[in-house]
Amino acid sequence: MKKDLLSILDLSKEEILHLFEEAEYLRNLLRKGSAYQPLRGKTLGMLFRKPSNRTRLSFEVGMYQLGGHPIFISSQEVQPGQRESIEDVARVVSRYIDGIVIRTFDHDEIVKFAASATIPVINGLTDLLHPCQALSDYYTLWRKERKLEGLNLTYIGDGNNVCHSLILGAAKLGVNITVCTPPDYEPNEKIVEEGKKINPQLISFVPDPSEAVKKADVIYTDVWASMGKEAEKEKRKKIFRPYQVNASLLSRAKEDVLIMHCLPAHRGEEITDEVMDGKGSIVFEQAENRLHLQKAILVELMGVKCEE
């Protein structure tokens, strides 16, 4: 039976930790230069309505390293929901390829697609969720000590799709997440409710950045205006200025606090150069780990398990 990854809610805690172990196995094989191609003969489609750097590159390179073949599908040509229905596109591509990554705006579009597809569907980002990013982020933290329960993560900035997936991931993995956003820019209430259904004790909101970072083991930020919100950029710059992750804010946090950003970063806006390039930054580790974690997702969802 096919399995999709549309949200972190699609995975149990045990399945997430298994992905981390699998990603580590694949990372080590790559470091040793050992060829491992369990997806030889398989094809991954990539249907993107939004621009992408890390998501596209990591899935394409990952599929190639696993022996498979990635195909980029232009949404301008296929036009699901316009030229033909989303459901019909899903049924057709299911007869050609073995799995698909979709990066789009409306989350309902990927839900509809998955309901009609007979192949695994992976959420490469929607306006609501970004599960692959958050899973890679928690994998990055897991690699530090192999333990996530009790970790204190503070998210500062816009309550966007990355924030949503971090909340769901925290609830699944036992991470204490503190969310710090300006008024009216809080995360989606339904997402917060879903997280609190799993564990209400792990999710808290602190409006003052200086207070929010005091107990943080990790400080995480993202752009103030996500894709699709560019028209609000100047307005958001004024509102979010007090939420910048800079040296002054870090002076209120633990000396060994880690800094995360999912990229792309707008240096000088949500984060300063000295913080992003500082000793606590693991931003580029995050970026690299998109490759390893997503390879684990591909292996798991496309039906081939790593050998022990």
pLDDT of residue 90: 95
- Residue 122 CA to residue 120 CA, distance in Å, equals 7
- Active-site position among 27, 49, 107, 130: 130
- Active-site position among 222, 236, 244, 261: 222
**Domain spans of the chain, in order of start:** 8-130+290-301, 133-287
- Active-site position among 290, 292, 294, 306: 290
pLDDT score of 303 more than 80: no
Q: Give the model confidence (pLDDT) of 181-219 as tens digits.
A: 999 999 999 999 999 999 999 999 999 999 999 999 999
pLDDT of residue 306: 45
- Active-site position among 65, 98, 107, 133: 133
Active site residue 262: yes
Active site residue 286: no
Active site residue 222: yes
- Active-site position among 56, 103, 107, 292: 103
- Is CATH 1.10.10.10 the classification given to domain 8-130+290-301? no
Length of the chain: 308
Same fold, 8-130+290-301 and 133-287: yes
3-state helix, strand, coil split of the chain in percent (to 5) is 45, 15, 40
Between CA 296 and CA 195, with CA 50 as vertex, the angle to 5 degrees is: 55
Cα pseudo-dihedral 205, 273, 131, 11, rounded to 10: -70
Q: Given strand 69-74, what is the order of strands in its sheet?
A: 69-74, 43-48, 99-103, 121-125
Task: Report DSSP state, residue 146.
Answer: S
Q: Give the model confidence (pLDDT) of 66-77 as tens digits.
A: 999 999 987 777
Active site residue 83: no
CATH architecture of the domain with residue range 133-287: 3-Layer(aba) Sandwich (3.40)
Mean pLDDT calculated for residue range 235-255? 97
Using pLDDT thresholds of 50, 70 and 90, give the confidence band for residue 308. very low
Cβ neighbours of 262 (radius 10 Å): 24
pLDDT of residue 83: 82
Going by C-alpha positions, the residue among 135, 192, 174 that lies closest to residue 10 is: 135
pLDDT of residue 147: 86
- The helix (run of H) or strand (run of E) holding residue 24 is helix 13-32
pLDDT of residue 304: 56
Using pLDDT thresholds of 50, 70 and 90, give the confidence band for residue 284. very high
- Residue 246 CA to residue 242 CA, distance in Å, equals 10
pLDDT of residue 239: 97
Contact call for residues 7 and 131 (beta carbons, < 8 A): yes
pLDDT score of 305 more than 60: no
Percent of the chain with pLDDT over 90: 89
Q: Residue 204: phi, psi to the nearest 5? A: -135, 160
In the Cβ-directed half-sphere of 132, how many Cα atoms lie within 13 Å? 29
Using pLDDT thresholds of 50, 70 and 90, give the confidence band for residue 302. very high
Q: Give the model confidence (pLDDT) of 112-170 as tens digits.
A: 999 999 999 999 999 999 999 999 999 999 999 878 999 999 999 999 999 999 999 99
Question: Bridge-partner residues for 101, per DSSP?
Answer: 46, 122
Mean pLDDT calculated for residue range 16-33? 97
Q: Residue 247: phi, psi to the nearest 5? A: -60, -35
pTM: 0.95
| pLDDT, the chain, mean | 95
Q: Give the model confidence (pLDDT) of 46-65 as tens digits.
A: 999 988 999 999 999 999 99
Active site residue 108: no
Q: Give the model confidence (pLDDT) of 85-123 as tens digits.
A: 999 999 999 999 999 999 999 999 999 999 999 999 999
